[in-house]
């Protein structure tokens, strides 16, 4: 087993029975569930909306290169600069260059998982430019020196008391501060940063091919603040975020909101089509869009998992997943966690180190059920498992156990010949090691089903 | 920053993906049926209900005169330098009706109320569509602690799709650099999913609709 898989198992073991963690996550997700239920009711036909979205995203995938070129062409016409980054290193090289060229001292960042993927904060700070997270959840984890716990709700693992304690330690705010007071405190601190920053960075929820636009969805207003004051706006977007037309936002905005937070529509849905225009009174002088590949085109060449590129990062599969709810976001040790993270991360960072994630699923199917773009996640997890086995990446004990089991169980007569008592004895060590001491494996019955069936049938015939 | 190489590399990897043809959805989804609920009883009432459900305020006025009266009343607690307006047309209206306000840059940072116009209102979602086009620009959309939006009844459209279509028609020669759909005051639920109004943008949003 690789060190990553070992670490994963240890972390999962530890946190699965951490009752504080469990309570916080259950509380937060129950609130999410309530909101989502309300959000679903806002639709006349949610299932049709999902079918349409799924279809548009599949259309996007079959015309991916054409749409990307169309986006670039229109974005350039709009006065944006478009940079293609094949990997993290290249994306960071672009950003470093922009920071250096513009002598930037302060960068404000609105919430974006893509910037987490490339670890932008570290890169920028290394060259002396301060990088400030402005989304409240991201701000909290940045202050705590942590990474986002959840792709939509970064500080989901913290209770309000945890955060009040953290703020008290770092900013000397009252130890019993309410969420309102803490939000207001951060608002005050960050307003000064927004208005004096040199660069504003956002992600993109959708790239609009037909108008060369970038759509950003948010609730707090930090993305709008980040793009209204600084003189440079940098967008970092995965190349799979593209959709054919601006008109499709009428479908995708409410769908993202209802699945991400349960709102009918997110508070601010903005479309950026460039830097400040000649007839406009304010806005950035420069807008740069970095199109990040970083394994996505690799994922595209996979016959099964390419569909994961339809993802709109709503986070619904995380909240629905019993494994995520038990082991939490950090155990995955990836940028993207939960079912979708388990599918795509092995392609981004290698099956050797991250293949084990696809095994961390009960394949219950809840993720596929809630997915707004109909990604068949359990099927893709299974395909990934198959790849791990074929690549010979599974632990030796498991491989052996599976071989013995397949030998024993594929021969009915031989299988029946072994007494149940011996079967139970033979399986006990595997159950203990692989299934874990905290779970109870059902035991073999004293008489197997086939034996009972045959006997009953005989009795039946006698009558 | 030359990136021609990367672009070609990425695009050719997509083109050459060693995968069978993507099974396009066998049948195109039904594109004509409604997915959102109807607008009832009418667009104006629907907008008001939706905006209020996300903690926004909607005030209906029958005439410009009534609008002036209402504004005077709600602004009575704010001193003139606390009210900021960059929009020439609205400024004239405020002047005409003796409602004090400031246009001085020095007052920008300390303003309490910012008044702007808008592009459209969306009935189904209670959204206000604003853009960087016009005198107010980007900052006035998001910076004021309290945001007042003045809109005419004929700016009201039914669904988000309609607003997007109208925007493209209105700006056929090129969209404003920023268009935003605002649905209520700025908010966050990042601490224990507890809703707090006024995260980074306005803490209150008032939409005045007049005929």
Contact A224 B138 (CB under 8 A): yes
The pLDDT value recorded for residue A443 is: 85
Interface test with B, best of A166, A281, A306 (most B CBs within 10 A): A281
Q: pLDDT 10s digit of each residue in chain A, 463 long?
A: 678 999 999 999 999 999 999 999 999 999 999 999 999 999 999 999 999 999 999 999 989 999 999 999 999 999 999 999 999 999 999 999 999 999 999 999 999 999 999 999 999 999 999 999 999 999 999 999 999 999 888 999 999 999 999 999 999 999 999 999 999 999 999 999 999 999 999 999 999 999 999 999 999 999 999 999 999 999 999 999 999 999 999 999 999 999 999 999 999 999 999 999 999 999 999 999 999 999 999 999 998 999 999 999 999 999 999 999 999 999 999 999 999 999 999 999 999 999 999 999 999 999 999 999 999 999 999 999 999 999 989 888 788 888 888 887 888 777 777 788 888 888 787 777 777 777 777 888 888 888 888 889 888 887 7
Nearest to A162 by CA among A279, A343, A20, A32: A20
CA atoms within 13 A on the CB side of B102: 18
How close is the nearest chain B Cα to the Cα of A423, in Å?
A: 44
Does residue B11 form part of some domain? no
Report yes or no: B138 and B116 within 8 Å, Cβ to Cβ.
no
With contact defined as beta carbons under 8 Å apart, do A254 and A225 qualify?
no
B207 Cβ neighbours under 8 A, 6+ residues apart = B51, B56, B57, B58, B59, B121, B128, B149, B151
If you write DSSP's letter for every residue of B163-174 in order, what string do you get? Answer: HHHHHHHHTTT-
Helix (H, G, I), strand (E, B) or coil at A236: strand
Mean pLDDT of B17-22: 65
- Give me the pLDDT at residue A416, please: 77
Q: Do A59 and B186 touch (CB under 8 A)?
A: no
Chain B, residues 27-66, CB within 8 A of chain A, namely 28-31, 33-38, 50, 54
pLDDT, position A427? 79
Asked if the Cβ–Cβ distance from A64 to B14 is below 8 Å, we say: yes
Residue B52 inside a domain? The answer is yes
Residues of chain A contacting residue B180, judged by C-beta atoms under 8 Å apart? 224, 268-271
The secondary structure element, H or E, covering residue A323 is: helix A322-327
Q: What pLDDT score does B193 carry? A: 87
Please, are residues B26 and A108 in contact by the beta-carbon 8 Å criterion?
A: no
Q: Rounded CA gap, A105 and A419, in Å?
A: 74
| Mutation for testing the A interface, residue in B33, B85, B192 having most A CBs under 10 Å | B192
Q: How far away is chain A from the Cα of B37, in angstroms, using its nearest Cα?
A: 5
- Test B36 with A254 for CB contact under 8 angstroms: yes
Burial grade of A282 (CB within 10 A; 0-12, 13-18, 19 or more): middle
Spell out which residues of chain B touch residue A78, defining contact as CB-CB under 8 Å: 174, 177
Asked if B166 and B157 touch (Cβ cutoff 8 Å), the reply is: yes
State the smallest CA–CA distance between residue A417 and chain B in angstroms.
Answer: 46
Distance CA A119, CA A88 (A): 8
Please name the helix (run of DSSP H) or strand (run of DSSP E) that holds residue B84, with its range, or none: strand B83-85
The verdict on residue B72 lying in a domain is yes
Alpha carbon distance B100, B95 (integer Å): 7
What's the gap between Cα B63 and its chain centre?
A: 23
Q: How many CB atoms lie within 10 A of CB A66?
A: 15
Smallest Cβ distance to B29: which of A55, A211, A301?
A55
Which residue, chain included where needed, has tokens 């190349």? A239
Residue with token string 């809840």: A366
Q: Determine contact, residues A207/A116, Cβ cutoff 8 Å.
A: no
Inter-chain contact A134–B200, Cβ cutoff 8 Å? yes
Q: Which CATH number characterizes residue B130's domain?
A: 3.40.50.10420
Strands across the sheet containing B57-61: B57-61, B204-210, B146-152, B113-116, B83-85
- The CATH class given to the A1-41+307-394 domain equals mainly alpha
Helical H runs in chain B? 4-15, 43-53, 64-74, 88-96, 139-142, 160-170
Q: Please report residues of A whose CB lies closer than 8 A to that of B11.
A: 65, 68-69
In the numeric block, the tokens 């290249």 are attached to A90
Q: How far is B45 from chain A (nearest CA, A)?
A: 17
Q: Residue A190: list chain B partners with CB under 8 A.
A: 200
Range(s) of the domain holding residue B174: 40-210
Q: Quick check: is B23 in a domain?
A: no
For B59-78, the pLDDT digits (tens) are 999 999 999 999 999 999 89
Confidence class for position B23, pLDDT limits 50, 70, 90: low
Interchain CB contacts (distance < 8 Å): A and B: 275
> What is the Cα Rg of chain B in Å?
22
| DSSP per position, A206-218 | EEETTTTEEEEEE
Q: Which residues of A69-87 are buried (b: 16+ CB within 10 A; e: fewer)?
A: ebbbebbeebbbbbbbbbe
B131 touches chain A (CB under 8 A): no
User: SS3 of B208, please?
Assistant: strand
Instruction: Mark out the alpha helices in A110-233 (DSSP H runs).
Output: 113-117, 120-126, 136-143, 160-171, 179-196, 222-226
CA-nearest residue to A150 within chain B is B190
Contact list, A187 vs chain B (CB under 8 Å): 198-200
Q: Taking each helix axis as running N to C, give the angle between helix A249-260 and helix A19-41, from 0 to 180 degrees, rounded to the nearest 10.
A: 140
List every span in chain A annotated with CATH 3.40.50.10420: 45-294
Q: How far apart are CA A118 and CA B86, in angstroms?
A: 40
- Strands lying side by side in the sheet with A130-133: A81-85, A286-292, A232-238, A199-202, A106-109, A130-133
Choose which CATH entry (3.30.70.20, 3.40.50.10420, 3.40.50.1000, 3.40.50.300) describes domain A45-294. Answer: 3.40.50.10420
ipTM over 0.95? The verdict is: yes
- For CA atoms B189, B190, B196, B200, give the dihedral sign: negative
Residues contacting A261, CB < 8 A, separation 6+: A32, A35, A36, A39, A152, A219, B189
Helix (H, G, I), strand (E, B) or coil at A434: helix
**Where in chain A do CATH 1.10.1060 domains reside?**
1-41+307-394
Distance from CA of B84 to the nearest CA of A (A): 15
Query: How many angstroms separate the CA atoms of B192 and A368, rounded?
Result: 26
- DSSP letter at B102 equals B
Q: Assess if residue B10 is contained within a domain.
A: no
Q: How far apart are CA A361 and CA A342, in angstroms?
A: 9
In which element (H, E) is residue A259 found? helix A249-260
B188 is a domain residue: yes
* Angstroms from A426 CA to nearest CA on chain B: 43
* Mode of pairing for the β-strands spanning A81-85 and A286-292: parallel
User: Tokens at residue B91, please?
Assistant: 């400024």
* Residue A429 burial by Cβ neighbours in a 10 Å radius (0-12, 13-18, 19+): exposed
How many independent structural domains does chain B possess?
A: 1
CB–CB of A328/A153 below 8 Å? no
Do A28 and B193 count as a contact with CB atoms less than 8 A apart? yes
Nearest partner of A283 among A78, A91, A132, judged by Cα:
A78
Whether residue B120 is contained in a domain is answered as yes
CA of A136, closest CA in chain B: separation in Å? 6
Q: Nearest chain A Cα to B138, which residue?
A: A228
Question: What is the pLDDT at residue A1?
Answer: 63
Q: What are the residues whose beta carbons fall under 8 Å from the beta carbon of A421, sequence distance 6 or more? A: none
Give, in order, the Cα–Cα distances in Å from A208 to each of A51, A241, A248, B125, B182.
Answer: 20, 9, 9, 22, 19
Contact B185, B205 (CB under 8 A): yes
Report the alpha-carbon distance of residue A359 to residue A361 in Å, rounded.
6
């Amino acid at each position: 087993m690789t060190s990553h898989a070992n670490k994963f198992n240890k972390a999962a073991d530890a946190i699965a029975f951490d009752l504080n963690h469990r309570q916080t996550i259950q509380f937060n997700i129950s609130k999410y569930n309530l909101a989502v239920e309300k959000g679903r009711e806002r639709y006349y036909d949610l299932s049709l909306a999902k079918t349409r979205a799924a279809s548009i995203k599949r259309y996007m995938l079959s015309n991916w290169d054409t749409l990307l070129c169309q986006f670039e062409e229109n974005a350039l016409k709009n006065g944006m600069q478009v940079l293609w980054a094949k990997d993290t290193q290249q994306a960071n090289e672009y950003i470093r260059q922009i920071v250096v060229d513009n002598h930037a001292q302060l960068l404000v960042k609105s919430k974006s998982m893509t910037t987490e993927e490339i670890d932008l904060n570290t890169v920028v700070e290394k060259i002396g430019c301060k990088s400030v997270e402005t989304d409240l959840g991201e701000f909290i984890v940045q202050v705590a020196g942590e990474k986002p716990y959840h792709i939509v709700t970064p500080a989901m693992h913290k209770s309000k008391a945890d955060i009040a304690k953290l703020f008290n330690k770092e900013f000397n705010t009252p130890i019993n501060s309410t969420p309102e007071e803490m939000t207001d405190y951060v608002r005050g601190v960050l307003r000064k940063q927004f208005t004096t920053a040199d660069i504003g960075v956002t992600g993109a929820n959708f790239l609009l091919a037909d108008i060369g636009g970038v759509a950003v969805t948010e609730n707090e207003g930090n993305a709008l603040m980040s793009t209204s004051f600084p003189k440079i706006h940098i967008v970092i977007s995965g190349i799979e975020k593209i959709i054919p037309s601006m008109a499709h936002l009428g479908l995708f905005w409410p769908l993202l909101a209802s699945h991400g937070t349960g709102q009918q529509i997110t508070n601010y849905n903005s479309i950026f089509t460039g830097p400040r225009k000649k007839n406009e009174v304010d806005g950035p002088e420069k807008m740069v869009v970095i199109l990040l590949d970083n394994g996505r085109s690799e994922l595209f060449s996979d016959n099964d998992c390419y569909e994961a590129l339809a993802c709109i990062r709503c986070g619904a599969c995380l909240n629905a997943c019993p494994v995520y709810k038990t082991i939490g976001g950090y155990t995955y040790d990836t940028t993207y966690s939960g079912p979708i993270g388990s599918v795509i991360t092995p392609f981004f960072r290698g099956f050797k180190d991250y293949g084990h994630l696809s095994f961390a699923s009960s394949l219950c199917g809840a993720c596929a059920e809630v997915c707004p773009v109909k990604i068949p996640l359990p099927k893709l997890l299974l395909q990934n498992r198959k790849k791990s086995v074929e690549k010979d990446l599974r632990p030796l004990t498991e491989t052996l156990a599976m071989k013995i089991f397949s030998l024993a169980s594929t021969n009915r007569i031989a299988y029946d010949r072994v007494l149940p008592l011996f079967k139970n004895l033979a399986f006990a060590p595997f159950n203990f090691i692989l299934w874990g001491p905290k779970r109870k494996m059902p035991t073999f019955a004293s008489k197997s089903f086939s034996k009972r069936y045959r006997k009953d049938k005989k009795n039946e015939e006698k009558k | 920053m030359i990136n021609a190489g990367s672009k070609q590399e990425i695009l050719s990897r997509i083109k050459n993906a060693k995968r069978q043809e993507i099974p396009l959805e066998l049948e195109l989804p039904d594109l004509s049926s409604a997915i959102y609920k109807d607008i009832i009883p009418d667009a104006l009432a629907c907008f008001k209900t939706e905006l209020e459900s996300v903690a926004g305020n909607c005030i209906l006025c029958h005439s410009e005169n009534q609008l002036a009266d209402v504004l005077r009343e709600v602004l009575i607690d704010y001193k003139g330098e606390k009210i900021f307006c960059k929009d020439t047309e609205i400024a004239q209206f405020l002047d005409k009706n003796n409602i004090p306000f400031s246009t001085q840059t020095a007052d920008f940072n300390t303003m309490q109320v910012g008044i702007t116009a808008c592009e459209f209102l969306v009935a189904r979602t209670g959204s206000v569509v604003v853009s960087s086009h016009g005198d107010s620009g980007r900052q006035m959309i998001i910076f004021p602690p309290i945001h007042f939006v003045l809109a005419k009844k004929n700016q009201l459209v039914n669904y988000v799709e309609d607003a997007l279509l109208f925007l493209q028609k209105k700006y056929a020669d090129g969209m404003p650099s920023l268009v935003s759909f605002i649905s209520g005051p700025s908010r966050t639920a990042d601490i224990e999913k507890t809703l707090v109004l006024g995260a980074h943008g306005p803490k209150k949003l008032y939409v005045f609709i007049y005929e």
